[in-house]
Amino acid sequence: MKVVTALHRPAALLAGMLACAGLLAFAEWSGSGGSSQPSVRIVHITERDFHIRSPRRIAPGRVRLVVTNDGPDLHELIVVRDPAGTRLPLRTDGLTVNEDALAPEEVGSLEPGVPGSVRGLTLRLRPGRYEIFCNMAGHYMSGMHAVLLVGKP
């Protein structure tokens, strides 16, 4: 009996794995399809405790942000355009950014990624001033934010 159930489980597992592999392959295909278009530019961004490294200025248009988490903590990435003032609005605790207040300006975000992960975020960026940051508890205040200028160099 045990053997029979064990037989079904890996079958299901295998099916699942095949499905995942298929999806990944599709995603990879669509991704490479995007990069083959000259209008999409790759922008490498590296996050680590507690710093974001990114180019200071990029050209407008379609960009693919390739975000690498060097850890050791989990990090997210939120992109906002042209925020009012130099400092982002904080919640009442005065320690984390008030994302609700920034909702109209937010152009894209990546959920927390585990250390070592590399993720992509494709955006169409108009010229302007953008700020990128990680809003996990205390990360913004510890220095995980950077300014990205989009426009003609």
Partner 1 sequence: MIRAPAFTPYASRGRKPVVAILLTFALCSMASIGLSIWQTARTQHRAEVLRVAERQQTLASEYVQEVMLVRSGQQSDPDVTATILRLSTDALLDGGAVPAVPGNDDEADLAPATDPVVRAQLIQERRLVDDMTSTGAAYLDGRPVSSVPLTAGEHLAVTAPLTRLRVLSMLTADAALNTARTIVAESDSDVTNLIVMQAVLGGVGLLVSLGLALALVAATRRQTAHFRSIVDSSTDLVIVLGAGGCRHVSRSVTAMLGVSEDAVLGDGLLRFLHPDGRALVRSAQTSGRTEEIVFQLVNQHGEWRTLEAHVTDLRQDRAIRGVVLNARDVTERVGLQDELVRQAHYDGLTGLANRGLFRDRLEQALTRSTRAGGSVGVLILDLDGFKQVNDSLGHEAGDQLLRVVADRLTETVRATDTVARFGGDEFAVLIDQTDEALAVSVARRALARLAEPAVVGGRELEVAASIGIALQTGESGGDELVRNADVAMYAAKDAGRGRHEVFRSDMARDPDELLGLDNELRYALARNELSVHYQPTISLSGGEIVGVEALVRWTSPTRGPVGPDVFIPVAETSGLIAALGEYVLREACGETARWLRNGIVGRDFVTWVNVSTKQLTMGGMPGAVDRALQTAGLPARNLGLEVTERAIMLGDAADRALVELQQLHDSGVRIAIDDFGTGFSSLARLRDFPVDMLKVDRSFVQGVERDAKDVAITTHAITLAHALGLIAVAEGIETEGQLAHMRAVGCDVGQGYLFSRPVPAKEITTFLAAAHDAAQAA
Length reported for the chain: 153
**Closest distance of CB 113 from partner 1, Å:** 11
Binding to partner 1 in span 71-110, by CB under 8 A: 71-74, 93-95
How many of the other CB atoms lie within 10 Å of CB of 24?
10
Q: Which phi and psi angles does 16 have, rounded to 5°?
A: -60, -45
Size of site (CB under 8 A) for partner 1: 29
Query: What DSSP state is assigned to residue 140?
Result: T
In the list 33, 55, 89, 116, the residue contacting partner 1 (rule: CB under 8 A) is 116
In the list 40, 41, 51, 105, the residue contacting partner 1 (rule: CB under 8 A) is 51
* Measured CA distances, 29 to 68, 79, 120 (Å): 20, 25, 14
Interface ranges with partner 1 (CB under 8 A): 2-3, 5-7, 9-10, 13, 48-51, 71-74, 93-95, 114-116, 136-139, 141-143
